[in-house]
Amino acid sequence: NTETVSDFVREKVAEDCRTGKFDGRVVTRFPPEPNGYLHIGHAKSICLNFGIAQEFPGGVCHLRLDDTDPEKESVEFVEAIKSDVRWLGFDWGEHEYYASNYFEQLYEFAVKLIKADKAYVCDLSADQMREYRGTLTEPGKPSPGRSRSVEENLDLFERMRAGEFPDGAYVLRAKIDLASPNMNLRDPTIYRIRHVNHYRAGDKWCVYPLYDFTHGQSDSIERITHSICTLEFEDHRPLYNWFLDALEIYHPEQTEFARLNLTYTVMSKRRLLELVEGGFVNGWDDPRMPTVVGLRRRGYTPAALRAFCKKIGVTKFDGTTDFALLEHCLRDDLNKTSQRVMAVLDPLKVVITNYPEGQIEEMDAVNNPEDESAGSRKVPFSRELYIERDDFMEDPPKKFFRLAPGREVRMRYAYYITCEEVIKDKATGEIVELRCTYDPETRGGSSPDGRKVKATLHWVSAEKGVPAEVRLYDHLFSVPDPSDVEEGVDYKTNLNPNSLEVVSDAIVEPSVATLEPGTRVQFERLGYFCIDAKDSKPDALVINRTVTLRDAWAK
């Protein structure tokens, strides 16, 4: 499905192309800070920025690592980001940029502002600065540094860079408007002293520019045309414009769109980091995480994530998207692409008393009814099988059509069987085995006399089946909006205690043992699963449930 749905951002880009605003150029960028792993909200931004670059002639999208805050950034995160963007299906070609490469240029920009008397060195402490900033109804008070001479400011800023002062001794601030109703314009800090090693620049710098002083200038240096960001930066746009105008440099245009929020999860790197560091999940790639690596390990496909991003569209209004819509997009893709296999999660033994001992028959099974080219495979059938425990009832109610004493059902791709006897554990009364007979005339799933059965069960040969650990996942949080907590209550109280259920004694058909880690399959009648890419071993299979079959999305 390559058809493009338009939105206000794309319309704006199209309009700018028509009017020749940026000489018809279209250059977007995706600018993550390498201080964590990407989540599905970032995927929305990736699909938007890279999507626009693909759709407009000559369009280019830059991958820019926005790495000017040395404390939490690392090469590990850079590599993870690059791998996630590629996995999502996008390619930045040679357009890989690092804001930290602009440190010298950004420093020069700051000097230029000082020389124009548009920036000054301020010695207020953080607390004092807050106090001086004023309120919405009260204008800010000038810091004593605001009246420093250009010469003194240049000297101090140079000495800040030279490392003469400890962290926090001074900051550099833009001289804008202490009475502005937009607090961002009340002389924002643009440089601070941090004697911290930077993962790329090393110890070269001890002054670092802040986000607002980095972002627009980086856009300008890279000659971005459309700088697309989330709505919380709308209030920063006047500042974005002020810097570019004051510096008299090339001026891209910032446009804001609504960020993605999803039910039953949280979507901020800070919180995701907290879940990882606090051991509430097993790492960034825990299959319950809304991170790209987590979703990938869970069995999500890049196509499903892209389809989801297309479906939710791009608007100016904040809202929360139903997780069920994401799962709907996932099922849609997996239904078309994943091979069907049989697995039993809660095994109950069936012995077919009239089937020859030691005999194994290879049954033909269709790999994917949605895709003829997927072909077929052989599934071994034997005297002893496992079926799903809840596919049998000793005393079935009226609407239960599956196996019961005296009842005949079809074994998928094999024979009709009839339950003749129920064997129980003498001590506990638990059903441990069913004795059944089969009708040899029904091979392939129909009877020559045309008699009908009402149910078809999946099964696995007890002799040939392979044991597996299956991890069943549910939402990470037990309420739709985990952040909606009363004051003083931590959102983590909403974590779902049952988000992971481990089934240690599942049995899968032997073909599953030959699949590569990461392969996605449908377990017939149970859902979509994938071989865990990290923990699964050829002799100790670990399988994740990606999503159940039932679609809860209300169209």
Instruction: Pick out the residues of the known binding site for ATP.
Output: 33-35, 39-45, 230, 259-260, 267-269
Asked if 212 is part of the footprint of Mg ion (rule: CB under 5 A), the reply reads: no
Q: How far is the CB of 41 from ligand ATP (least distance, A)?
A: 2
What is the DSSP code (8-state) at residue 37?
A: -
* Nearest residue to Mg ion, by Cβ distance, number only: 33
Q: Which residues are annotated as a binding site?
A: 33-35, 39-45, 66, 211, 230, 259-260, 267-269
| Active-site residue (options: 10, 29, 33, 173) | 33
Cα 19 to its chain centre, rounded Å, is 37
Looking at beta carbons only, is 209 or 287 nearer to Mg ion?
209
Stretch that binds Mg ion, among 28-36, 76-84, 88-96, 467-475 (CB under 5 A): 28-36
Read off the tokens for 245: 């105008």
Looking at beta carbons only, is 259 or 492 nearer to ligand ATP?
259
Q: How far is the CB of 399 from ligand ATP (least distance, A)?
A: 44
Give the angle subtended at the CA of 320 by the CAs of 316 and 324, to the nearest 5°.
Answer: 130
Asked if 286 is part of the footprint of Mg ion (rule: CB under 5 A), the reply reads: no
Beta strands in 268-415 (DSSP E): 339-341, 343-344, 347-352, 360-366, 376-382, 384-388, 408-411
Q: How far is 146 from 122, CA to CA, in rounded Å?
A: 7
Q: Which residues are annotated as a binding site for L-glutamine?
A: 66, 211
Q: Which of residues 385-404 bind Mg ion (CB under 5 A)?
A: none
Beta strands in 56-129 (DSSP E): 60-65, 96-98, 119-122
- β-partners of residue 348 are 387
Q: Locate tokens 């299906």: which residue? A: 89
Q: How far is 218 from 223, CA to CA, in rounded Å?
A: 8
Task: Select the binding partner of residue 281 from ligand ATP, Mg ion, none (C-beta < 5 to 8 A, by kind).
Answer: none
Q: How far is 475 from 497, CA to CA, in rounded Å?
A: 10
| Active-site residue (options: 259, 311, 464, 492) | 259
CB-side exposure of 349: number of CA atoms within 13 Å? 14
Q: How far is 316 from 173, CA to CA, in rounded Å?
A: 31
Q: How far is 154 from 115, CA to CA, in rounded Å?
A: 8
Give the 3-state secondary structure percentages of the chain, helix then strand then coil, rounded to 5.
30, 25, 45
Q: How far is 296 from 414, CA to CA, in rounded Å?
A: 35
* Nearest residue to ligand ATP, by Cβ distance, number only: 41
Stretch that binds Mg ion, among 5-13, 30-38, 365-373, 375-383 (CB under 5 A): 30-38
Q: How far is the CB of 221 from ligand ATP (least distance, A)?
A: 17
Looking at beta carbons only, is 233 or 392 nearer to ligand ATP?
233
Q: How far is the CB of 555 from ligand ATP (least distance, A)?
A: 24
Looking at beta carbons only, is 44 or 236 nearer to ligand ATP?
44
Q: How far is the CB of 223 from ligand ATP (least distance, A)?
A: 18
Looking at beta carbons only, is 33 or 73 nearer to Mg ion?
33
Looking at beta carbons only, is 230 or 337 nearer to ligand ATP?
230
Stretch that binds Mg ion, among 8-16, 25-33, 216-224, 503-511 (CB under 5 A): 25-33
Does the annotation mark 331 as catalytic? no
Q: How far is the CB of 260 from ligand ATP (least distance, A)?
A: 4
Task: Select the binding partner of residue 313 from Mg ion, ligand ATP, none (C-beta < 5 to 8 A, by kind).
Answer: none
Q: How far is the CB of 269 from Mg ion (least distance, A)?
A: 7
Looking at beta carbons only, is 220 or 338 nearer to ligand ATP?
220
Q: What is the DSSP string of 498-533?
A: TSEEEEEEEEE-GGGGGSPTT-EEEETTTEEEEE-T
Helix (H, G, I), strand (E, B), or coil: what is residue 205? coil
Q: Locate tokens 């070609």: which residue? A: 93
The count of chain residues that interact with Mg ion, using the rule CB under 5 A, is: 1
Q: How far is the CB of 49 from ligand ATP (least distance, A)?
A: 8
> Which has the closest alpha carbon to 88: 56, 26, 40?
40
Helix (H, G, I), strand (E, B), or coil: what is residue 17? helix
Task: Select the binding partner of residue 320 from ligand ATP, Mg ion, none (C-beta < 5 to 8 A, by kind).
Answer: none
Read off the tokens for 220: 């300008």
Does the annotation mark 269 as catalytic? yes
Binding site for ligand ATP (CB under 6 A): 31-33, 41-42, 44-45, 229-230, 259-260, 267-270
Task: Select the binding partner of residue 44 from Mg ion, ligand ATP, none (C-beta < 5 to 8 A, by kind).
Answer: ligand ATP
Task: Select the binding partner of residue 306 from ligand ATP, Mg ion, none (C-beta < 5 to 8 A, by kind).
Answer: none
Residues in the chain: 555
Task: Select the binding partner of residue 42 from ligand ATP, Mg ion, none (C-beta < 5 to 8 A, by kind).
Answer: ligand ATP
Q: How far is 280 from 336, CA to CA, in rounded Å?
A: 34
Q: How far is 531 from 546, CA to CA, in rounded Å?
A: 10
Looking at beta carbons only, is 33 or 67 nearer to Mg ion?
33
Asked if 33 is part of the footprint of Mg ion (rule: CB under 5 A), the reply reads: yes
| Active-site residue (options: 29, 64, 148, 269) | 269
Q: How far is 492 from 496, CA to CA, in rounded Å?
A: 9
- β-partners of residue 352 are 436
The answer to whether 296 and 88 are in contact (CB under 8 A) is no
Q: Which residues are catalytic?
A: 33, 259, 269
Binding residues vs Mg ion (CB under 5 A) = 33
